[in-house]
Amino acid sequence: QFSGHEEGINAVAVDPEMTYLAYGDIGSGLYLWDIETGELLREFSGAQFIHRITFSPDGQSILTSALNGLYLHNVETGDLEWRRGEIGFTDANYSPDGSKIVGTVFTQSAGGIWIIDAATGNVLNRYDNSSPVLSGVFVDNNRIIFSAGSTACLWDYAAQTEPSCFEGHTADIWSVRVNRDRTRLATASYDGTVRLWDVESGEQIRSLEGHSAPVLSAVFSEDDRYVLSAGTDNTMRLWDAETGVE
């Protein structure tokens, strides 16, 4: 049990070696714990109202999407490696080769997708959108899936081709995540469902229904056999990815 925290926890992540647990809250707290001992190792400063956290592929850095920007901290020292503070970030994830980051951004009325150099924090490409972009993830080093409104879209940003979209949700999609071989997509929506899709064909595989309120997150297990979802109905649900059985 990792206890003693007073603010509501908004984001949780585990490093690739499953040694560290990081979580962020709705205030300005970002904390690193030792999973084995339950010891609080470090508190990072700067980020306010944290939306998402992810570790770098090598586990040496923590990437934090927050209301006041995007932060990269060194796990070992706690030092801030870089920050993008121009705008609020809803999500950020690494490319398969670890060299780039896709960040999704928002204002009160618009949003966008930023492709960022992971080492320096420099913006490589920036694409504006007429509505907030809530989540984004790489499929390969040139293609991303992002969500805007009730639609998620697969887009080759490098070739600037027309996006192909996954349609079926009836409310905003808060999270998009792919499985380990990046052939399946899980979308979590305010319509209370999690939906699984074939990445290449865009076909819906199944709808996972059981939450009684908006679903904010859905992720695949390491072996891709299960999908874990979390909703505002104060429940987490574990689903069989092949059968859809809870």
Average pLDDT estimate for 147-175: 94
**Is there a contact between 152 and 137 (Cβ–Cβ < 8 Å)?**
no
**Is there a contact between 43 and 31 (Cβ–Cβ < 8 Å)?**
yes
Query: What pLDDT sits at residue 232?
Result: 92
At 45, the amino acid letter reads: S
* pLDDT surpassing 70 at residue 14: yes
Q: What is the mean pLDDT of the chain?
A: 93
The residue assigned the tokens 């792919």 is 178
Kindly state the DSSP code that residue 161 receives in the 8-state scheme.
Answer: P
Kindly state the DSSP code that residue 162 receives in the 8-state scheme.
Answer: P
pTM (predicted TM-score):
0.93
Instruction: Report the distance separating Cα 30 and Cα 7, nearest Å.
Output: 11
Contacts of 123 (CB under 8 A, 6+ apart): 84, 114, 115, 116, 117
Average pLDDT estimate for 93-108: 94
How buried is residue 35: exposed, middle or buried, by Cβ count under 10 Å (0-12/13-18/19+)? Answer: middle
Q: Please provide the size of the chain in residues.
A: 246
Query: What pLDDT sits at residue 108?
Result: 79
Average pLDDT estimate for 161-171: 95
At 178, the amino acid letter reads: V
% of the chain at pLDDT higher than 70? 97
Q: Report residue 25's pLDDT band, with 50, 70 and 90 as the boundaries.
A: confident
45-90 per-position pLDDT tens digit: 899 999 999 999 999 999 999 999 999 999 999 999 999 999 999 9
Query: What pLDDT sits at residue 65?
Result: 97
Average pLDDT estimate for 86-113: 94
